[in-house]
Amino acid sequence: MAFNEVKNFINGEFKAGSSLKIHSIISPLDGKDLTTFNESTMEDLNEIVVTAQKAQKAWQKVTLKERVQVFYKYKQLLEKNSEELTEIIHRENGKIHSEAKAEIDKAIELTEFACSLPQFVNGENMEVSKGVFCSSTKIPLGIVASIVPFNFPTMVPHWTIVNAIALGNAFILKPSEAVPISSQYTAKLLKEAGLPDGLFNIINGTQTTVENICDHPGIQAVTFVGSTKVAKIVYQRASNNLKQVLALGGAKNHILLLPDAHPEMASSNIVASMSGCAGQRCMAAATLIAVGNCDAILDRLIADTQKIQCGTTLGSVISKAAKDRIEAYITEAEQQGAKIILDGRNTTVPGKENGFYVGTTLIDYATADMKIAREEVFGPVLAIVRVNTIDEALAIENANPYGNACSVFTQNGGLANYVTEHASAGMCGVNIGVPVPREPFGFGGWNQSRFGSGDITGKSSIGFFTKEKKTTTKWNPEAGTNWMTHYTKK
């Protein structure tokens, strides 16, 4: 599959960025060049905003029920083109095909929720005192922009694209510079579905483009998904420019393994969580806290992890820099006294020696103060910390600055409830390795994993992408007044 040059999408047309700076897009599967793009300038963003403002004013006048009709058609196009879209993700991101296909399936699910928005966006009307009525309605913000990461080239953009546009906004997508190809096909399919020009736009670039989005006065809201370091910067910069902002950062997700856990369920779910998408997801299992004697379950987990093979059941990581960083974490843990049970360093795939691969790695006897147990590694690496009690395990989880996800594996409902009640995380799971809420529930963590209020998906996103207008009315209560009779008498 050959790819065309990646371009911006402005007012329904593809147009190259006006900067002379050119970026190459490299497939992490084999290190080969896929295509290029020209970086964008503030002039490119200005052009997008001008056309988006005009398009949004007309779109806002269309009823919500009519607006979502576009997304019924778009959903069908996603389904029809699923195979091609899957291959694109595989090539530019490095995921195995089944994971890439699951990403398209999730984008379809998110689009289905957008189609259901007329059932959720309800105004209110109430008589608050005698003869006085208050009503509320949801009004679009105007132009919203989303800055998205490399790890889900299609799914994460669909967290915001479909809901934001269905709710009456115009939209600007800034894809990751590492994986901008999928967004080109999103633009094509939205246009084919009948979305009016100017409502969905793409601007390609790097740090400067992100800064321009945060600074542009014509953009009313910004969402960001990426590292905590950058999430803080985006949140502060865009907020200082009086924008509505929701910035999702990194994670260090903990799984508490109790001795009574179902061995097969626990092992299969934990292995899938730590290795799925090569560990490059903010919901991946990163630190396993084994409470008491869990050796039998851990032995099974080791055996199940050994079955995973790079290039077939495990994809690549995104870049050589990522590979080097992940392997450095493993080496440091080993130097600090942790035991490397399975070592994924220096992994290569035959025929793809220039690809960026890290094999599944299990590190036992890590301690809570080690970087491998505290920091986001973002790779197929699981650190095992051993403790004696649930409260010791929860103390480790609570002390971590992130707060995205926490799961517990047990067959005891009381202990499961105790863990979910006391965990310091926005998304908790019981016997689930990746506790992602499904629509209409929203996706969002706590603490250093989220900056801003609300969730980025589900019903909670309605409040982010709209503003509420309240109207209070009172009429003359004079009995017997008939204005029609009064003004028609001669």
Backbone angles phi, psi at 428, to 5 degrees: -115, 155
Distance CA 352, CA 309 (A): 14
E strand or H helix at 234, and its extent? helix 228-240
Catalytic residue among 214, 277, 282, 310: 282
* Terminal Cα-to-Cα distance of the chain (whole angstroms): 80
DSSP SS3 for 233: helix
Distance CA 27, CA 14 (A): 23
Cis preceding-peptide flag for 440 (omega within 30 of 0): yes
Backbone angles phi, psi at 473, to 5 degrees: -130, 150
The size of the chain, in residues, is 490
Distance CA 164, CA 142 (A): 10
Backbone angles phi, psi at 333, to 5 degrees: -60, -40
Distance CA 387, CA 5 (A): 53
Residue with tokens 């070592």: 343
Strands in 285-380 per DSSP E:
285-291, 339-342, 361-366
214 is catalytic: no
The catalytic site residues sit at 282
